[in-house]
Structure 1
Amino acid sequence: MIIFVDAIDECDDKELMAEFIEIVADAYRGNRRLPLRVFFTSRVEEHLRKKLEAPAARSVIYHLALQDFDAANDIRKFFQHRFATIYEENHRLMRDVPWPWPSHTDLQALVEKASGSFIFAFTLINFVDDGADLPHQKLPIALAAHAGLDPLYTEVLSTAPRGEVLKRVIGTILLLESDLSVTSLGHLLQLNTAHILQALLGIQSILMIPGNDDEPVRLFHTSLRDFLMSKPRSGGFFINPPARHLDILLDCLKLVGIPPDTDILFRGEASEYACINWCHHFDQWLILGNEPHNDYLTSYLTNFASESFDYWVNTLLVKGSLGDMLEMLDRILLMLKQLPSCSQGLLQTMEDIQEHVKVDVSGLRKTAVCYVDYASIYRFQLVDVSYAIL
């Protein structure tokens, strides 16, 4: 049996991935007759390289350097197949375009530009076939681009309709702690689903836009996130992580600042995301930006604490997230207290929220709590949830 673990460099928890590699290597050193093999794929990342190339691991790990593999023929076949499909599907529009298309010279130029990178080849094909213009008119633009994904990303973003909605939507997608469906993304941003889709259609060659609104928008490759979050690389398309985390924090607080009409907790993917993750975006804003200045934040937090606190706590209890939230609040307050520029109003509001959460956690440790959600006639034993957070 072969177990494939693909793209381990894209996992956020670096320590956990390094520990996982170490555990696998230790298992094989202890028993070389294990009836399975583990196949890792990854870009070269320092925390992974240290574990994979450690002396203790070398005896059981075989390294295959893909940069030494010539993928030119495979990429040429990929191009030939995809361009032939584009030609067939657009035969009425391309009736005057001679076959073979592209020419052998252009095809070779594209293969050389790809430099062995399938993600470049894949993105280039999507760019040519995105429907924004005739494929044979998009091809010369692709041929003129410099090698590498950055120029291609720049070209796609340059030809897309630019606006605040696009920047807000793509910035949110890049920084969400977990994926949201298109519908839920609209709820979080308080945008119509159609407006989100309209904003993204111009860049569908670099984003996976689902055919169903109940599914999330995803990146074709994490290199897009790296590109957009590096100002020297992306220039005017730069997504400022601290500013975007603050925007998402405010969006979360606005959403949960309005209590449910007939329920005792928040329901729905977007509302549950906001309940569980607003502190995460607060934390990241402070870590990356370190400037707790915003005219709306204290006001939104005060409204949230006065109008929706109990509903928020109920939601965290059902989701088993109250203990994690308390740890996050402790960390945020520690950072705020170390910042001389932090306003007293913001600090006091966060201290009040933390204190009320501590009271609720303390109460759960002492009593068995049970409630009935009459809206759905469903019973939750919160005492069971409380054990998970102690």
Structure 2
Amino acid sequence: MPTFAYELVRALPSLGTSVREVIRRNPSIFGRRLELQANTLIVEPLKAVSEQMPRMVVVIDGLDEYSDDTGQLPLEDFVSALLGTIKDMPFRIFFASRPESYINAIFKRPQLHVEITEIPLRDWETTHDVFDYLKTELSQIRENRRIHVFPWPSEGDLWTLVGKSEGIFIYASTLIKFVGGRNCNSIKRLQGAMESHNGLDSLFTQVLDSAKEHPDFLFVLGITMFLHEPLKLWQLAQLLKWSTYDIRSALEGNFLNDLNRAGNHFLDPATNHKVLFHTSARLILEDTDFFTKSGQGAYSAYRNWCYHLRSLINDNITSTDRTTIVALMERLSQDCGARLARLKSHEVVKMWLGELEGVIAWAKREQNDFDTLIEMGEQLQANVH
């Protein structure tokens, strides 16, 4: 529910004041019943701005990737609380998911008391379109690579690949990029795809097995996945102090942070958020010349350290982590105005303050010896205000 409220504030900045006030008055809200969270963080702030609010569609994608471990409550309770609380609000919710039977059962429960329209994507026949696309693109690869095997692929091979795609174009486009990659054996890669299991996960595994030849691949991929906001290649290079060539040489999402699906390719969110927090902290601690314009790396560090810290304090925090946090808070409290100027706009400062409030509230809820963090965070808030 906090994520839902956060995304609403990003879409409707006018909600920010109301949501921040709710968190300030009741920092323990994140640990309360889900229905109360929804009503307090979403419904009440929306009512306050209902006259200016446009009609919207809220998209919640990947419902099948929700797990009780990460969501901390059963999916059916989350859906029921969300729909039950906001059913009178001026927007609709569009859930996207694989057609799992347990998800279908959740939306067929009469207790929801809402109108639900089902749009099964399998009703659209795409097999012939996928066949034509694969035939055209693979013919182009055969011509470019001067492959002297004919036919390559055969019509039977194409239909095998169509079946493995399950009618999903992202499978077909990923396959083409994989088979047509530079300095690769296209015939061998295509044969491997035809011999693998159906679906995207199997293809992703094959792609990742090939990509790991570069020693920094998983490091760069992990950093890219867990950034708060996407960065362009040159911006990421500034953040890591690498060259763009190194990053391009080393180098999508939910598959890799699901241990059951990704297996040996699993990227641990806690590990990567920790790296990003310490990288951001290092750039801020090194930033002492306020007469020099900061680069994109420093901006990203100031903008996003809170986001990565919240993930860090929810994990097994070490003494090194605590030392860095204290040093960072002390440095941010010094020359506070000059450091806030690195964020470039009042709107970004407000968003950053909201995230700092979220970190403090999270630390209070955890009740895990975060007194120093809470005290210094509140002092930093006071300095900013």
In the superposition, the TM-score normalised over structure 1's length comes to: 0.67
Q: How does 1:145-224 map to 2 (within 5 A)?
A: 145-162=196-213, 165-200=216-251, 224=252
1:275 alignment partner, one of 286, 297, 302: 302
Aligned position for 2:139: 84
Which residue identity does 2:281 align to in structure 1? L
Once the 2 structures are TM-superposed, how far is the Cα of residue 170 of structure 1 from its aligned partner?
0.8
Provide the rounded CA distance (Å) in 2 between the counterparts of 1:82 and 1:103: 14
Provide the rounded CA distance (Å) in 2 between the counterparts of 1:317 and 1:126: 38
Aligned position for 2:275: 247
Aligned position for 1:129: 180
Distance 1:360 1:145, change over 3 A: same
Aligned position for 2:124: 69
**Identity percentage over the alignment?**
24
Is 2:149 aligned against 1:97? yes
Is 2:190 aligned against 1:139? yes
Preserved CA contact (<8 Å) 1:254 1:300: no
Once the 2 structures are TM-superposed, how far is the Cα of residue 90 of structure 1 from its aligned partner?
2.1
Once the 2 structures are TM-superposed, how far is the Cα of residue 294 of structure 1 from its aligned partner?
4.5
- Count, aligned residues: 307
Preserved CA contact (<8 Å) 1:253 1:304: no
Superposed CA offset, 1:101-129 (max 9, x none): 20122112111111111111111111111
Provide the rounded CA distance (Å) in 2 between the counterparts of 1:180 and 1:163: 21
2:375 alignment partner, one of 330, 341, 351: 351
Aligned position for 2:360: 333
Provide the rounded CA distance (Å) in 2 between the counterparts of 1:278 and 1:20: 35
Provide the rounded CA distance (Å) in 1 between the counterparts of 2:91 and 2:360: 39
Provide the rounded CA distance (Å) in 1 between the counterparts of 2:168 and 2:284: 44
Provide the rounded CA distance (Å) in 1 between the counterparts of 2:187 and 2:380: 63
In the superposition, the TM-score normalised over structure 2's length comes to: 0.67
Which residue identity does 2:289 align to in structure 1? D
Superposed CA offset, 1:31-80 (max 9, x none): xxxxxxxxx79446979x969x987656xx6x542113332111111111
What's the Cα RMSD here? 3.8
* Higher helix proportion (structure 1 or 2): 2
Distance 1:360 1:227, change over 3 A: closer
SS in 1 for 2:253: helix
Once the 2 structures are TM-superposed, how far is the Cα of residue 354 of structure 1 from its aligned partner?
2.9
Provide the rounded CA distance (Å) in 2 between the counterparts of 1:268 and 1:132: 35
Which segments of structure 1 move beyond 4 Å, counting only runs of 4 or more?
A: 5-8, 18-22, 44-47, 53-58, 337-341
Provide the rounded CA distance (Å) in 2 between the counterparts of 1:82 and 1:255: 45
Aligned position for 1:387: none
Preserved CA contact (<8 Å) 1:106 1:143: yes
Which residue identity does 1:328 align to in structure 2? E
Aligned position for 1:284: 311
Preserved CA contact (<8 Å) 2:201 2:255: yes
Once the 2 structures are TM-superposed, how far is the Cα of residue 19 of structure 1 from its aligned partner?
7.0
Preserved CA contact (<8 Å) 2:211 2:217: no
Answer with 1 or 2: which has the greater Rg.
Answer: 1
Which residue identity does 1:105 align to in structure 2? G
Aligned position for 1:110: 161
Unmatched runs of 5 consecutive residues or more in structure 1: 27-39, 201-223, 362-390
Aligned position for 1:321: 348
